[in-house]
Amino acid sequence: MLLTAVACWAASDDAAGWSAKSAASYLDQRAEWWAGWQRSARDHGTFCVSCHTALPYALARPALRGALGESGPSAPERKLLENIATRVRQWSEVKPFYSDPTGAKQVESRTTEAVLNALILSSYDPRTADARAALQNMWELQVKTGEQQGSFTWLNFHNAPWEYEESPYWGATLAALAASSQPAESRPSGQVKLLAEYLRRDVHSTTLLNRVFLLYAASRLPGLIDRQTSGSIVAEIRGLQREDGGWNLASLTGGWKRKDETALETASDGYATGLIALALERSGVPRKDPALARGLAWLAGHQNRSEGFWPSWSLNKKRDPESDVGRFMPDAATAYAVLALTSH
C-alpha cells in the first residue's frame, strides 16, 4: 500500500496526505512577507535575496503550478523575479547586501548574490537577457587562483547551514545547478572545469549536508562527480535515516553547536528529509526504493495541513516557532518537501 501511495503523490496530493494548495499559500505568504520586511530592504527599492526564504521559494513554487491549475508565476514570484532583474540590470550601481569597514562583507555578499541571482533566473528561463547577464556576473566572480580556485566566496555570519565556514562548498553546488541550466555551448568550459575540480577536491572534507547538495547538482550537470562518489554519498544518507523514515538536519552538519548552547533538535525534519528525498530521486534512485519510499511517506504525513509548512528548526539558536525569524527553517523545509513530493 505504501508504494502505491508513493506512485500517486504527484498526481493526487490531498489523497496522499499533503496539500499543494496550503503549501503554495504558505510559501506565497512568506515570500510576500520577506519582500516587505524592513530588515530585508536594500537600495534602489530592492530587497535581499535570502538563502532561507527567497531562494528555496523560487526553486519550489513553480513545481506547484500544475497541481493548482496556474498558468504562470504567482504575484510574489513576479515580485521576486522583478526584484532580481532590477539588481542584475543595475549591477554596477546597486550596493552589496552587506558591508563592513574591511570590505570583506562587500565581497562575500556580492558573490553570494551573483550565484543566487544566476540560479533563480536561469531556473525560470536561462534564455532571457537578465538570466544571461546574471550568469555572466556569477562566472566573473568565481575564484580563479589559489587554494579555493574554482569556488565562490560566500557570506559568513557563522550561521549554519547557509552562512558559515562550510558554506562556500554549498555555494559552489548552487553555481553548478545554475550552470546546468545554461545551454552546453554557452557554458564557459574552463570555468566549469575549475568548479568541478573544486567540488571533487573537497568532497570528502565537507559536511554530508553539502554532499547531498552535490549529489543533487551532479544529477543536473553530467560529469560533476563519478559513480563511486555518488554511491558513497547515497550510502551515507541511507545510514542516517531514522526509524520513522525521515532524516535530521543536525546529523548532517558535522557536530555543529548552537550559539546559545541549547541542544539541537534530534527529530526528523522537513528540510533534511525533503532535500535528501529530492537528491535521491534526481540521482536515479527509484521511488519504490524502500529508503526513498519511507522518506516520501514521512513528508506526505508531516505537513502542517492547516498552515501548509513542514517542520524544521534553527541550527544556531532555539527560536520561537511562531515568530517570523523562527519560520526561516520551515520556509526552506517546505520548499524542498514540495520539490521532493512533486519530482518525477
Q: What's the rounded mean pLDDT across residues 116-127?
A: 97
- What mean pLDDT, rounded, does the chain reach? 94
Q: Which of 113, 80, 78, 115 is nearest to 95 (CA)?
A: 113
pTM over 0.85: yes
What was the pLDDT predicted at 1? 31
- What phi and psi values does residue 295 have, to the nearest 5 degrees? -65, -45
In this prediction, residue 10 has a pLDDT band, given cuts at 50, 70 and 90, of very low
Give the largest CA-CA distance in the chain. Answer: 60
CA 322 to chain centre: 22
In this prediction, residue 91 has a pLDDT band, given cuts at 50, 70 and 90, of very high
How far apart are alpha carbons 275 and 286 in whole angstroms? 16
Q: Which of 260, 233, 258 is nearest to 160 (CA)?
A: 258
Q: What amino acid is encoded at 264 in this protein?
A: L
> Using one digit for the tens of pLDDT, what is the confidence trace for 149-177?
999 999 999 999 999 999 999 999 999 99
What was the pLDDT predicted at 344? 73
Contacts of 127 (CB under 8 A, 6+ apart): none
- 7 pLDDT exceeds 60? no
What was the pLDDT predicted at 17? 86
* Lowest mean pLDDT segment, chosen from 4-18, 68-82, 249-263, 316-330: 4-18
> Using one digit for the tens of pLDDT, what is the confidence trace for 173-192?
999 999 999 999 999 999 99
Contacts of 51 (CB under 8 A, 6+ apart): 112, 116, 162, 163, 332
Q: What amino acid is encoded at 124 in this protein?
A: Y
